[in-house]
Structure 1
Amino acid sequence: MTLYYTLVFFLLLVEMGIFMLLILPLPFTWRKMIFTFISENAFVAKLQYGMKITFVFILILFIDSVNRVYSVTNELSRNTDRNGGQQTVLGHERMEVQARKFYSQRNMYLCGFTLFLSLILNRTYVLILDVLKLEQTVKELRAESNERVRSGAESELEKKYEAKERELEIVKKQAEGLTREYGELSDRYTAMEKKQSPDFVPRKDL
């Protein structure tokens, strides 16, 4: 395997490792910290830009490998037709063509899977960011709802307290009125008792 295809294979392994890290069931706080760091770090942004350029070269290698597979397949087909469909008479030449076809197909699959996994990683990253934003929004809405419920309950309690205070004031006023009436009735009763007692001498007008 040539150097650049070795690098492509290494990049494929790195992509597989990153994908496994993305799908790990991490807590919300850790996941938010990691993705916030990735989305806001300047070095990561430069690295992503460099990876885009690298994938352009991998795309060129993929197109070249597809072209090689097509040409080797045509060559093998022409040699087979030339020998009347007898593939066994090609000998070592046919073995060489088959080896080139195998290497071309291997390079095509390697570059294709690398490009495909890069698209999956990009889409997974975007989806996870959207999910994190939605989870953060849900938490904020829940906190706001709980605050409204708490404030509503407090205001309802305050209204009930004020109503009880008003009822207590009314009861106090009624109690004061009853006390005054009781005092007046008590005074009248005392006066009547004095009038009806035998020691009481009515006054004669002169």
Structure 2
Amino acid sequence: MTLQWTVVAFILYAEIGTVLILLLPWVRPSIWKKFFNSRFVARVKSFSKIYSYAVITVLLLLFFDATREVRKYADADNAVDTRRLAEADAIVHMRLFRAQRNLYISGFALLLFLVINRIVGLLYRSAHLEAAAEAAMKQAEGASKAAKTLMESESSAPKDDGEKKDLQKKLEKAMKDRDAMKAQAENLQEEYDRVCDKLNKLESSGGDKKGD
């Protein structure tokens, strides 16, 4: 394996490790949000954007080059003369195998780059929804306690009735907000699970192709 494809392979391995770490089930999205907003990540982001675009451009060029090589040696293999020497035939198949290997490596490196960006976006959204759901729950609990205290009081003044109605309205609004946040969180979790399942299927299919 040449130097450039060795570097691409290491990039692919690093992306696989990053995806596995991001998919750890016991790490909450809020923790990832704090990590992404940390000073260290902010410093890395300040100069990593240009390098990431450069890496993507190089990966695209290598992917197209690998595609061209696969077509080249596949056509050469189809046009093989049956009287050709076995040694020359083995060389063509070896080059075709290398071209296919390079195609898989560069293709999966590009795919995992997009998957990582998608997972990070989902983690951000999940963290925001989690914080909003917690705030709505606290608001609902506070309104519920206030309403319960008011209902247990023996006072029946019109002023208290007005406050009671106001608190009941706030309680109903808080409960609706909580239910909406819960539904959004469930939808986000389903989307997150779908992306994870799709990634696992792609990695499994990639492993099968490399094994072939």
TM score, norm. by length of structure 2 = 0.65
Deviation of 1:40 (Å): 6.8
Match of 1:2 in 2: 2
Partner Cα separation in structure 2 for residue 39 and residue 56 of structure 1? 26
Match of 2:62 in 1: 61
Match of 2:139 in 1: 144
The answer as to 2:7 corresponding to 1:13 is no
Shift of the 27–53 alpha-carbon distance from structure 1 to 2, 3 Å rule, reads same
Match of 2:122 in 1: 127
Deviation of 1:92 (Å): 1.9
Shift of the 38–16 alpha-carbon distance from structure 1 to 2, 3 Å rule, reads farther
SS at match of 1:41: helix
Indicate the percent of aligned positions where both proteins have the same amino acid: 24
- Match for residue 94 of structure 1 among 89, 114, 120: 89
Deviations 1:175-204 (A, max 9, x none): xxxxxxxxxxxxxxxxxxxxxxxxxxxxxx
Shift of the 38–118 alpha-carbon distance from structure 1 to 2, 3 Å rule, reads farther
Deviation of 1:39 (Å): 10
- 148-157 or 110-119, which moves further after superposition? 148-157
**What are structure 1's unaligned runs of at least 5 residues?**
164-206
Give the aligned residue type for 1:22. Answer: L
Give the aligned residue type for 1:70. Answer: R
- Match for residue 108 of structure 2 among 113, 124, 133: 113
Shift of the 103–40 alpha-carbon distance from structure 1 to 2, 3 Å rule, reads closer
Partner Cα separation in structure 2 for residue 65 and residue 90 of structure 1? 26
Deviation of 1:6 (Å): 0.8
Deviations 1:152-189 (A, max 9, x none): 234445x52577xxxxxxxxxxxxxxxxxxxxxxxxxx
Aligned residue pair count: 156
Deviation of 1:48 (Å): 4.1
Deviation of 1:115 (Å): 0.8
Deviation of 1:30 (Å): 2.8
Give every structure 1 segment of 4 or more consecutive aligned residues whose post-TM-superposition deviation is greater than 4 Å. none
- Contact kept? 2:36, 2:42, Cα under 8 Å: no
Deviations 1:67-109 (A, max 9, x none): 011011112222x2xx3xx2x6333222221111111111111
The answer as to 2:37 corresponding to 1:36 is yes
- Contact kept? 2:63, 2:103, Cα under 8 Å: yes
Match of 1:160 in 2: 154
Partner Cα separation in structure 2 for residue 2 and residue 38 of structure 1? 37
Partner Cα separation in structure 2 for residue 90 and residue 68 of structure 1? 22
Q: What is the Cα-based RMSD across aligned positions, in Å?
A: 2.4
The answer as to 2:41 corresponding to 1:47 is no
Deviation of 1:32 (Å): 3.5
Please say which structure displays the higher CA radius of gyration: 1
- Output aligned runs, 1:169-188, within 5 Å: none
Shift of the 28–108 alpha-carbon distance from structure 1 to 2, 3 Å rule, reads closer
Give the aligned residue type for 1:77. Answer: N
Give the aligned residue type for 1:51. Answer: S
